[in-house]
Structure 1
Amino acid sequence: MSRFNVRKVAVLGAGVMGAQIAAHLVNVKVPVILFDLPDPKAPTLPAAPALGRPGGAGPKSGIALRAIENLKKLKPSPLGVAEDAMLIEPANYEEHLERLRECDLVIEAIAERMDWKTDLYHKIAPFVAPHAILASNTSGLSITRLSEALPESIRPRFCGIHFFNPPRYMQLVELIATPSTQAGILDDLEAFVTTTLGKGVVRAKDTPNFIANRIGIAGMLSTMKEAENFGLSFDIVDDLTGKKLGRASSGTFRTADVVGLDTMAHVIKTLQDNLSLDTDPFYGSFGTPPVLAKLIELGHLGQKTKAGFYKKVGRDVLRFDLASGDYVPAGAKADPVYERMLKKPAAERLKLLRNAEGPQGRFLWAILRNSFHYAAIHLASIADTARDVDQAMRWGFGMKQGPFELWQEAGWLEVARMVQEDIDAGRALCKAPLPDWVFHGPVAEAGGVHTEAGSWNPSTGRFEPRRALPVYRRQIFPELLLGEGGPRPERSGQTVFENDGLRLWTLPEVAGDVLIASLRSKMHTLGPDVIEGLAGAVERAEADYRGLVIWSPDEPFSAGADLQAMLPGFLMGGVAAIDEAEAELQRIMLRIRYANVPVVAAVRGLALGGGCELAVHCARRVAHMESYIGLVEVGVGLIPGGGGLTYIARRAAENARLSTGKDLLPFLSDGFTAAAMAKVGTSALESRKLGYLLESDVVVAHRDELLHVALNEARAMAESGWRPPLKRLFPVAGRDARATILGQLVNMRDGGFISQHDFHIADHIATVLTGGDVDPGTLVSEEYLMTLERRAFGALLTHPKTQERIMGMLSTGKPVRN
């Protein structure tokens, strides 16, 4: 691994991107200073440092301070937990430039103006540490031209670093070198961005808008142009170009609203200003769409102004109509025939769309054809390999497949022939033919650009493997493209046991002494096969291995108990059958907790209900940053039945034991609220606040490093002589605490904040958490509280309103409020 140590980062520019980059840095525990201009509203007299602010920010740092405060209000939140905003140090260019010397990485993220950026570089250059990397977060300006404003001593340490918005959630980061950039600088930065920030890195050539925005914005312009050609409304287009097409659910026009129409217009202008028909045969398609120009003229810039291509009025969603200049009702859906077409295998799908008679089908073929054409024409000029293009579109635009992947899956030469026929017939956006390498040579012979040997580089005429940086050894199973060579979990390792719900296996070449349990059920729900497999996993791990890791190669970790699997038993055997199934689930939870080897949960994505219970009963959790953990059973009218409430009660007793107070209720209140309101941690950091992750648990920024860290954690625990906790009784809060909770619930019910059935469920939760009708401080076992859980679970299952909630969830996937 790289020895480049990023101890502190400076972010220059407290605008939307700069502030959110700073937020993500504190999410991953990197100290950060956020700079901006001195506040013109600041008082002229010296003021005392702001209390509680790192670095003692004075009034002249007001712009940065307000930006930091605003981070708490943004949705989706750029912060893992809102209070971490205070960890960002505000600063200004007038008073604090000396503090740049403390920073190992300086990220410039001011407005997209070449003159403003170069002026700032002149100002900061004397203060940049001699070892520090300086990087510009520009979405398309020339990195080489920017570097010319820097002294010779800094140019080898300067590059482009393009985050996508919002930086916390978007995986893509493009790194762009200049001719002067030292190769090792990019390697060091790639290692930091990958492991510490959790991003997917693509190296782009220094061309206008780099890779993702070059391909993506050209694709959005193509979509808008073809939508106009075929007379399709925004809502129809978004329905066609969202999940149905394997892209982000927001489609095209909603995505533009989220990005910001002014931002989109700026990126389009970068193309217009820096390209021409001589450098890009598609240049004629880069005109600003009239509807976009009109919306910007009206000040309707998308989500940030609450109006763009769409706006919401009450509960109604409206779309802009250019002809009338006003908003009209939205919500139209695509013709179902095209939804069926899009579910066909790739080769059949593209032929059906190309030969479709309706405008929606022809529109879909046109935008796909245009994407293939554009990517092929520009591959050599914007990227090293086809891999960079496909990864950039996956990570930057939420596509399930990049354009080359889909083309290859559908049959390389056949699709190429169809595209070239459209070009020759004048149906494409430009007359430029597909490059010769498409039809002749290694790509044509291999049937595509991605092979076991690597991905196509048209500049070298070779299939080139991925970069072999040390950081990528942490990714045992990296995200692979269709046709690309590399290890895949389903083909790797040695299988020890498998059934329909679970596979037990090992990786002898990585950690053969640790057993891996991978769930196979739909949404990784906990049905009989999974529970049986987990029981066997613990036995085998104790007999032959040093640890057990519960990890699945795909998300989620687990969506909870399998309700559909429970229903037949309930219908045939009533509550008694469910009670036995719940008892078995509870037994495996305790078996995992008291296993004689460390059991590590590698959590990625959702860990809800029974999935949360499975995670909290493991000896340790290694969680991806974007993990969403919680007990959500009240949504279907039930309570946690696999030991979740028992866990909350036990943890409350353990925390109270470390306190001087004797009252257990304060230690129970957060856990009760989380379970009764089905609170889900919207990050691993928030899940830690809710108590579902502990301070001793590990949060991993990059999802593909999760297994590596979990295996190492299990081995380290075993190596350090880990032993399971000893079973012990613990005190419960008793009937007095339950009465206090019920008093608060009565007020909520009578005030109309919760329904009578919500009150009934919450009463059951309070009963379990406080131990039922017992004296305060009564010592109980986990088994005792789990029995209370099962009784409450069974009682609720027979309630008509709970059954209504369950059937509603199973049929619609949405909670029923009754």
Structure 2
Amino acid sequence: MSNFIVRKAAVLGAGVMGAQIAAHFANAEVPVVLFDLPAREGDPNGIVRRAIDALKKLEPSPLATKDRVDYIDAANYSQHLDQLRDCDLIIEAIAERTEWKDDLYRQIAPFVSPAAIVASNTSGLSIKRLSEGLPEALRSRFCGIHFFNPPRYMPLVELISTNATNLALLDDLEGWLVSRLGKGIVRARDTPNFVANRVGVFSMLAVMHHTQRLGLGFDVVDSLTGPIIGRPKSATYRTADVVGLDTLAHVVKTMQDTLPTDPWHGYFGVPAWLTALIGQGALGQKTRCGIFRKDGRAIKVLDLTLQAYRDSAAHIDPSVLAILKNRDPAGKFAQLRASEHPQAQFLWAIFRDIFHYAAYHLADIADNARDLDFAMRWGFGWSEGPFESWQAAGWLAIAEAVRADINAGRAMSQAALPAWVFGRVAQEGVHGAQGSYSASADAYRPRSTLPVYQRQIFPEQLLGENTIAGSTVWENDGVRMWTLPQIDAGIAIVSVKTRNHTLGRDVIVGLQEAVARAEADYQGLVLWHEAPFAFGANLKEVTEAIAAGDFDLLERYVGEFQNASMCLKYAKVPVIAAVQGMALGGGCEFIMHATKRVIALESYIGLVEAGVGLIPAGGGCKEFAIRAAQQAARTAGNDPFEFIQPVFMTIAMATVSKSGAQARELGFAVDTDRIVFNAHELLYVALREARALAEAGYYPRLSPRAIKVAGRTGIANCVMLLANMKEGGMISAHDYAVAKAAATALCGGDIETGSLVDEQWLLTVERKLFVELLKNPKTQQRIQHLLETGKPLRN
């Protein structure tokens, strides 16, 4: 791989996108200078400072940890352009006005270092045209780099080159964006709105057209175009509100102005009602009023018939819902097309028109079908791209149905489907083992061979693509132990197989067996599977034992859980936990006991047992007690309570980290653990970490024998922290009891302060307290409520 890195970056423009791009660079530990115009009054950097302050308040947070904001420096164009000389990457993210961008480029050109990359975050303006605003010497280092909002969470970045762009430099930039920032890259053509916005905005326009044609309510349409068809929860009209109705109108205007010959051009305009909302200043989420409006806790929706807002009450007709639950895509689409219900007609129409549009324009806007499908997945949050959905439903049958609708005048455009739709793709599929179809080349394009993609052992797959399976070594109903001989035959992998990766008895026994086999036959073990990492113990098994009154069985079950944790901790070979997504309760405890952790940035880790009226008992409290004693031993006071207090509140409040980086702050990981921004690299990095430790002569750590605990004084101090919360009604009496049990476990039990205990003592305290709480009816109510509703009960 290239040694290309970005040591320092600059973002020009402190608007919503610019500030959040800067935040994500800071997340990746890249210092960034954020520029904007000088303020007319007061602090010249006032505009940028306000933007930085706003980052701290946004939810979901653009910052992986609060301290990341310290790596964003405020600057203005009048005073600080000299700071650009130290920047390896400069991203312009100002308003979509070509003349404004030209003027800014003229200002910055004298300060750009000879090796720096200059890029525009434009969402659709011509990159070739923008490059003409730069001196000729900079044009080889200029490109489009289009992030999607919000930049931390949306994977897509579209890279757009010009004829002058240095393609080797673009390859380096792609590799860096993929690995360092965790992005999915699509090399877009320099056409209006590029790939994702071109198709995604057309999709929204098609939804608006058919909404009006069939007289459906905006709330009904959002219920039809959300998760039930594999789209985000924000669906269509809520997405418009989030994006900003004025921003949406601007993007549509770009299509209207720059695509005069597009066969769908007549639809490139916003409806009158949307223009009226914009005129009234109702721009969506940023003005708290748009297509939807929140009144207290009630969600109101604009009703065009009433010309007023009403309560949102979306309803999918049962007959349509039954069709959507059909797991056979071919049957589903056939039923939607045949149905006379307006909701079914609407759904068939929006799919038909997006299939038609994507096929017609594929040759013009994307190199191949894979790029277009990934653009929609990564940029708009679709679970499947349009070509994937089409192929799943039977390529030729859908093609014939779309053609019939075009010929009958039912489609939005009379443009014919391109000939390639009925050619080799009809037999071989648009995606397959040979690659994805390119309409412009009439050939199948394999995936990129850039070195960065070798780090993705299991890259995100499209329907029809093949993937490696690995070689199974051993498995039971809970786990599978396997290897990847082509990567490293000496490191074994163990993956949990249960639904949501819950940790029932089969998993607990299976993990212990996997460790034993790894110790006998391998040099390391990696605990990895796709997200979620684990949702904790199998509560169904627990409730069955409670119903039978078999608390001795439950204590043995907890003991086995603890044994599994200790197997991970004291294995003769390094055990690496590769973590992505939710890792809660027992899953978090297993992570804490691994030799080392490799954690995806978007990981949400926590000991959440308090939510069901329990405490961590898989060794979580024990581990924190040990760490507190070790940290205290390095201080003058040698008092473990100083380190227990923050951990106690984390457990009592069932706090979950909002990023992998924050998991280190909360103590679920340590500073030497790796944070990986691209989750598809997790397994690769974990295997390398295991191999490195093995080659360095790994030896299991010794169990601490004399652990100084906070004891009764520590418990009393913890309880004092809860007193005001209980009196103020912030926690219930049972919350208080659970938190006190957590304090007791963390402080080593109801024993003399400063007592020296061993690890097994701490495990026994945890286990006994856990089982006592299981006997409490209020805890049993919480567990049952969570199983029945999926929501916590505060009793």
Fold agreement, TM-score > 0.5: yes
Q: Which residue of 1 aligns with 2:499?
A: 522
Q: Within 5 A, what are the aligned runs for 1:154-233?
A: 154-233=138-217
How many angstroms apart in 1 are the aligned matches of 2:320 and 2:768? 49
Which string of whole-angstrom CA distances, capped at 9 and with x for unpartnered residues, describes residues 404-426 of structure 1? Answer: 00100110010000001011111
**Higher deviation after alignment, 367-376 or 778-787:** 778-787
Tell me, what secondary structure is at the counterpart of 1:623?
A: strand
Instruction: Give the secondary structure class of the aligned counterpart of 2:414.
Output: coil
Give 1:362 shift: 0.7
Residues 529-580 of structure 1 deviation map (CA, whole Å, 9 limit, x = unaligned): 111111011111111111100001x210111111112222333352111100
> Contact 1:524/1:556 (CA < 8 Å) preserved in 2?
yes
Give the match's secondary structure for 2:703.
Answer: coil
Cα distance, 1:235 vs structure 2: 1.3
Indicate conservation of the 8 Å contact 2:631/2:640, yes or no. no
CA contact (8 A) 2:368 2:445 kept: yes
**Is 2:493–2:525's contact at 8 Å kept on the other side of the alignment?**
yes
2:454 is the counterpart of 1:454 = no
Q: 2:272 aligns with which of 259, 271, 290?
A: 290
Cα contact 2:246–2:278 (8 A) shared by 1: yes
How do residues 796-811 of structure 1 correspond to structure 2 at under 5 angstroms? 796-811=773-788
- d(CA) in 1 for partners of 2:759, 2:210: 63
SS in 1 for 2:700: coil
Given the alignment of the two structures, is residue 745 of structure 1 paired with residue 704 of structure 2, yes or no? no
Counterpart amino acid of 2:283?
A: L
- Structure 1 residue identity aligned to 2:212: E
The residue that corresponds to 1:582 in the other structure is 558
**AA partner of residue 707 (structure 2):** F
> Is 1:150 matched up with 2:134?
yes
CA–CA distance in structure 1, aligned partners of residues 323 and 2 of structure 2? 48
Distance 2:12 2:236 in 1: 31
- 1:169-205 CA distances to partner (integer Å, 9 max, x unpaired)? 0000000111211211210110111000000000110
> Given that residues 126 and 191 in structure 2 are in contact (C-alpha distance below 8 angstroms), is that contact kept between their aligned partners in structure 1?
yes
- Normalised by the size of structure 1, how large is the TM-score? 0.96
Counterpart-to-counterpart distance in 1, 2:313 and 2:710: 52
Structure 2 length as normaliser, TM-score? 0.98
One-letter identity of the residue aligned with 2:255? L
The question of 1:765 aligning with 2:745 is answered: no
The one-letter code matched in structure 2 to 1:14 is A
**Structure 1: which amino acid aligns with 2:11?**
V
Alignment of 1:66-215 (within 5 A): 66-215=50-199
- Matches of 1:700 and 1:656, distance apart in 2: 30
Is residue 331 of structure 1 aligned with residue 345 of structure 2? no
Q: d(CA) in 2 for partners of 1:660 and 1:427? A: 80
CA contact (8 A) 1:317 1:331 kept: no
What displacement does 1:760 show? Answer: 1.0
Q: Give the superposition deviation at 1:229.
A: 1.2
Q: Matched residues in 2 for 1:692 and 1:557: separation? A: 14
One-letter amino acid of the counterpart of residue 257, structure 1: D
Paired amino acid for 1:333: H
CA displacement, residues 476-528 of structure 1 (integer Å, 9 cap, x when unaligned): 1101100124x34xxx2211001221110011111111110011100101111
Q: Which residue of 1 aligns with 2:404?
A: 421
SS at match of 1:503: strand
Moved more, 261-270 or 410-419: 261-270
Give the distance between the partners of 2:766 and 2:224, measured in 1 at CA. Answer: 46
User: Which string of whole-angstrom CA distances, capped at 9 and with x for unpartnered residues, describes residues 58-97 of structure 1?
Assistant: x322221221111101111100112321211111111211
Structure 2 counterpart of 1:38, one-letter code = P
1:621 aligns with 2:594: no
- What is the CA–CA distance in structure 2 between the aligned matches of 1:76 and 1:811, rounded to whole Å? 28
Measured in 2, the distance between the counterparts of 1:758 and 1:811 equals: 21
Q: Deviations over 1:186-241 (max 9, x none)?
A: 10110111000000000110111100000000001101111111111111111111
Indicate the larger mover: 713-722 or 608-617.
Answer: 713-722
Q: What is the Cα deviation at residue 323 of structure 1?
A: 3.8
2:488 is matched with which residue?
A: 511
Whether the 8 Å CA contact 2:558–2:767 is kept in 1: the answer is yes
Verify the 8 A CA contact 1:176 1:206 in the aligned structure 2.
yes
1:379 equivalenced with 2:362 (yes/no): yes
Aligned to 1:479: 460
Cα-to-partner distance string for 1:139-193 (whole Å, 9 max, x where unaligned): 0011110001111111111100000000000000000111211211210110111
Instruction: Map residues 229-268 of structure 1 onto 2, 5 A cutoff.
Output: 229-268=213-252
1:20 corresponding residue in structure 2: 20
Tell me which amino acid in the other structure corresponds to 2:69. A
> 2:638 corresponds to which residue?
662
- For 2:522, the equivalent position in structure 1 comes to 545
Separation in 2 of the partners of 1:787 and 1:253?
54
Deviates more, 1:252-261 or 1:213-222: 252-261
Q: 2:297 aligns with which of 315, 318, 327?
A: 315
The whole-number CA distance in structure 2 between the counterparts of 1:256 and 1:721 is 56
Distance in 1 between residues matched to 2:348 and 2:30, nearest whole Å: 46
Where 1:154 maps in the other structure, the secondary structure is helix
The superposition leaves residues 374-398 of structure 1 with CA deviations (integer Å, 9 ceiling, x where unpaired) of: 1001101100000010000011111
Q: Which amino acid aligns with 1:621?
A: R
Amino acid at match of 1:750: E
Please say which of residues 620-629 and 785-794 is displaced more in the overlay: 785-794
Asked if structure 2 preserves the Cα contact closer than 8 Å seen for 1:256 and 1:302, the reply is: yes
Counterpart amino acid of residue 9 in structure 1: A
Kindly indicate whether residue 670 of structure 2 is the aligned counterpart of residue 694 of structure 1. Answer: yes
Query: Given that residues 221 and 289 in structure 1 are in contact (C-alpha distance below 8 angstroms), is that contact kept between their aligned partners in structure 2?
Result: no
Equivalent position amino acid for 2:516 in 1:
E
CA contact (8 A) 2:543 2:783 kept: no
The corresponding residue for 2:387 is 404
Structure 2 residue runs without a partner (length 5+): none
CA distance in structure 1 between the aligned counterparts of 2:213 and 2:280, rounded to whole angstroms: 24
Residue 777 of structure 1 aligns to a residue in which SS? coil
Question: Deviations 1:12-51 (Å, cap 9, x if unpaired)?
Answer: 1111111100100010111111111122113xxxxxxxxx
* Structure 2 residue identity aligned to 1:519: V
Deviation string 1:719-742 (CA, Å, 9 cap, x unpaired) is 122222211131110101211222
Cα pair 1:64 1:91 within 8 Å, conserved: yes
Aligned residue runs from structure 1 range 677-716, under 5 A:
677-716=653-692
Partner AA of 1:477 in structure 2: F
CA drift at 1:648: 1.6
**In 1, Cα distance between equivalents of 2:548 and 2:781:** 19
SS at match of 2:436: strand
For residue 787 of structure 1, report the CA deviation from its aligned partner: 1.3
CA distance in 1: counterparts of 2:345 and 2:177, whole angstroms: 41
Equivalent residue in structure 1 for 2:451, among 443, 465, 470: 470
Q: Name 1:430's counterpart in structure 2.
A: 413
> What is the CA distance between 1:699 and its match in structure 2?
0.1
How far residue 680 of structure 1 moved from its aligned partner, in angstroms, is 0.2
Equivalent residue number for residue 3 of structure 1: 3
Amino acid in structure 2 at the alignment position of 1:252 = T
Counterpart contact for 2:373–2:388, Cα < 8 Å: yes
Deviations 1:323-349 (A, max 9, x none): 444211003221233222122211000
Matched, 1:633 2:606: no
Q: State the secondary structure of the residue aligned to 1:160.
A: strand
Structure 1 CA distance, aligned partners of 2:622 and 2:238?
Answer: 44
Partner SS state of residue 806, structure 1: helix
Partner residue, 2:546:
570
Q: Deviations along 1:670-704, whole A, 9 cap, x unmatched?
A: 11011000000010111111111110100000010
What secondary structure does 1:60 align onto? coil
Tell me, in whole angstroms, the C-alpha distance in 2 between the residues paired with 1:73 and 1:573. 48
Counterpart contact for 1:173–1:202, Cα < 8 Å: yes
Distance 1:262 1:781 in 2: 64
Q: Counterparts of 1:554-565 in structure 2 under 5 Å? A: 554-565=530-541
Alpha-carbon displacement from aligned partner over 1:775-816 (angstroms, at most 9, x marks no partner): 111111222122121222111112121111111110110111
